[in-house]
A and B are shown apart, each in its own frame.
Chain A
Amino acid sequence: MKRWLESLVNTWEGVKAHKLRSSLTILGIVIGVASVISLMSIGRGTQAQILSNIESLGSNLITVSPGMSFERGGVMGASGSATTLTQEDAEAIAEQVPYVATVAPYSSSSQQLIYGSNNVNSQVIGVTPAYQEAYNLETAEGAFISEYNYQNGSKVAVIGSNVEEELFEGASAVGQQIRMGTSIVTVMGVLESKGSSMMGSTDDAILIPLSTLQQTISQQRTSTGEHLVSSIAVTVSDQGQSDYVVSEITELLRSRHGLASTDDDDFSIGSMEELVSTVSETTETLTLFLGAIAGIALLVGGIGVMNIMLVSVVERTREIGIRKALGARERDIWGQFLSESAFLSFSGGLIGVGLGWGLSKLISSTGILGNITTMVSSDIVILALAVSVGIGLLFGFLPARRAARLNPIEALRYE
């Protein structure tokens, strides 16, 4: 302990003896580390923002759609293959697949909505009450479609916030009747805005009971009399079982649809988890790319350290000679110079972390670079510190070796 403390003091003495030179060396590392921290915090912040947008849809969501999956060469356009999912499929999933929390089959169609003199073209989605839970929907006013509404085919609707805005222009919507195609529905609720998202938004949609949609707009059935739906949303009770649930649903639907083992699936399943991981990978790449750019600055700082240390070795040739005459071994000299360069770059790293952290706070709070969220995570901080010490050791290596190998007689004679 005493020895360790002593060598720290010695290192400090060496650094202190050349204040200006030491601070300039540190500055190079400070800039490098600060840019790594701030750029990577921008990357991480953006990633977190996108992921939270996706997760607001429900991260344990699995969507079953008719048609072939993307991986099998794109979506098939043939109408026959695109209308294979039925409400009965959904019921079978709910009954037979484990780890399933909710199953929400739905159908949609585009209709013109009219209220007073306002009209808007909107997507009408026929849903079951489970739809609310599957997509994490909240009502800002009124209530969501109930089991009673669904069983009775009530002519009621829950509208998205944009639809409300365009039809009612701020007036109260709940209880009002709007014309939807050829029928009239009563608004029983307004959804809270979810903002735009990659999956399309319920802000622009109108939700009615699936039974109502089947009675008033379209009554599509298969040859065996089952009700066709356009998609089935499934939520998983245990997120870790997502893959298992996907494979179980695939199995079940293949057998229900009577597919031979050589046939391709006539439906596709996309899980939100899959989407999340794809997006994470993409943004992680972006973050690494930003980090790599900043890493170049850090590298330049490291070369600065090497440069200074080489100068320092030449300047202190005589000191090295004296130390050697007093009995310093090569590894003592090595240790001295390596710990000096590591000390320089580590303090540079510490200051750089502080500066980078401050910078990223500044970027997100003032919004100079637009609406960017930043996030300084501990792994980046630890990485940056470790890299800065590593750089000190790496670029201190050559100067330290040169110092250690000096011939003591020549070093003592050096003026």
Chain B
Amino acid sequence: MIRLQAITKVYPMGKRELEVLKGVNLHVKRGEMVAIMGPSGSGKTTMLNLIGCLDIPSSGSYYLEDREVSRLSPGELAQVRAKKIGFIFQTYNLLPQLSALANVELGMRYAGCPDTVRSREALDRVGLSERASHKPSELSGGEQQRVSIARALVKDPPLILADEPTGNLDSHTGAEIMSILTELHKEQGNTLVMITHEADIAHYCQRVIHIKDGQVEWEEEL
């Protein structure tokens, strides 16, 4: 599903250059649920951005479903994001002016197949059908994150990326969110890659990849 080969990412920092990723190799199989852990500044977010086709590597190759996407133009990357990838963010990133349902529907919009019925079903599956017409400001943090999960899942993308999905939630709600995620992952069989720095959250996954100083330090199977 995901194959990273000798990926590096260098950011210009004034006159010097900052090497955030220093040759990352990674393999994620179809349907796997993988956690990426590491201290802040280790490059895990940069890595997730690359996997999510929000950015391209400075060197190395990235194959998504056996297609090399590391040299695509911004427009082609947008198409890949629209069709193949669903994002779940730490800060939910819902549009404040839209209702929960409209936010979910937005997840399908750029894939070219907006569908209100499917959006309702997705909300139903995260247990929020009652609050479909509420604006994000009228929802709790856990509810907002559930809307954003519904948004990521509604187009049934092969790959779901989550950047600290429980980072802004208390441990109880966090656990709730994780059980929803794992359940949906089992049902739909998408590949799921998430960043976290909480060990018990990482334990919901099948494999944990530890990143340090821009390199994969070690992996553990759970």
Task: List residues of A whose CB falls within 8 A of some B CB.
Answer: 6, 13-14, 16-17, 318-319, 321-332, 408-409, 412
Q: Which residues of A contact B49 (CB under 8 A)?
A: 409
Contact of B95 with A324 in the complex, beta carbons under 8 Å: no
B86 to chain A: closest residue by CB: A326
Minimal Cβ-Cβ distance residue in A for B81: A327
Smallest Cβ distance from A175 to chain B, in angstroms? 86
- Say yes or no: A326-B82 contact (C-beta < 8 A), given A17-B97, A409-B49: yes
Which A residues are CB-close (under 8 A) to B79? 327, 329
Residue among A14, A327, A329 facing the most chain B CB atoms (10 A cut-off): A327
By a CB distance below 8 angstroms, the chain B residues around A326 are 81-82, 87, 106-107, 109-110, 151
Contact A327 B111 (CB under 8 A): yes
Q: Nearest CB to that of B93 among chain A residues?
A: A322
Question: Interface on chain A toward B: helix, strand, loop, or mixed SS?
Answer: helix
Within 8 A of A (CB), among B59-113: 74-75, 78-83, 85, 87, 89, 93-95, 97-98, 106-107, 109-111
Q: Mark B40-56, 1 if CB is under 8 A from A, else 0.
A: 00000000010010110
Q: Report the separation of the CA atoms of residues A328 and B74 in the bound assembly, to the nearest whole angstrom.
A: 10
Q: B97 touching A332 by the CB < 8 A rule?
A: no
Contact of A327 with B74 at beta-carbon distance under 8 Å, contacts A319-B95, A408-B54 already known = no
Instruction: Please name 4 further chain A to chain B contacts, defined as beta carbons within 8 Å, in addition to the given A16-B97, A322-B93, A326-B82, sorted by A numbering.
Output: A13-B97, A325-B54, A408-B54, A412-B89
Q: Least Cβ distance of A301 to chain B in Å?
A: 25
Interface pair B55/A409, CB less than 8 Å apart = yes
Q: Which residues of B contact A412 (CB under 8 A)?
A: 54, 89, 93
Q: Does B114 contact A (CB under 8 A)?
A: yes
- B15-44 residues with Cβ-Cβ distance < 8 A to A are none
Q: Which residues of chain A have C-beta atoms less than 8 A from B151's C-beta?
A: 326
**A51 to chain B: closest CB distance in Å?**
54
Could you jot down 30 A-B contacts, CB within 8 Å? A6-B114, A13-B97, A14-B97, A16-B97, A318-B93, A319-B95, A321-B93, A322-B93, A323-B106, A323-B110, A324-B78, A325-B52, A325-B87, A326-B81, A326-B87, A326-B107, A326-B151, A327-B80, A327-B82, A327-B111, A328-B78, A328-B110, A329-B78, A329-B82, A331-B75, A332-B110, A408-B54, A409-B54, A409-B55, A412-B89
**Which of chain A's residues have a CB closer than 8 A to the CB of B94?**
322
A16 to B96 alpha-carbon distance, docked (Å)? 13
When distances are taken between beta carbons in the complex, the residues of chain B under 8 Å from A324 are 54, 78, 81
- Cβ-defined contact, A329 with B110, below 8 A: yes
| Residues in B whose Cβ lies below 8 Å from that of A408 | 54
Chain A hits for B81, CB < 8 A: 324-327
Which residues in A have their C-beta under 8 angstroms from that of B80?
Answer: 327
Query: Does B74 lie within 8 Å of A322, measured CB to CB?
Result: no
Residues of A within 8 A of B83 (CB): 327
Q: How far is the CA of A331 from the CA of B82 in the complex (A)?
A: 14
Give the distance in Å from the alpha carbon of A412 to the alpha carbon of B93 in the complex: 8
Minimum CB–CB distance from A257 to chain B (whole Å) comes to 80
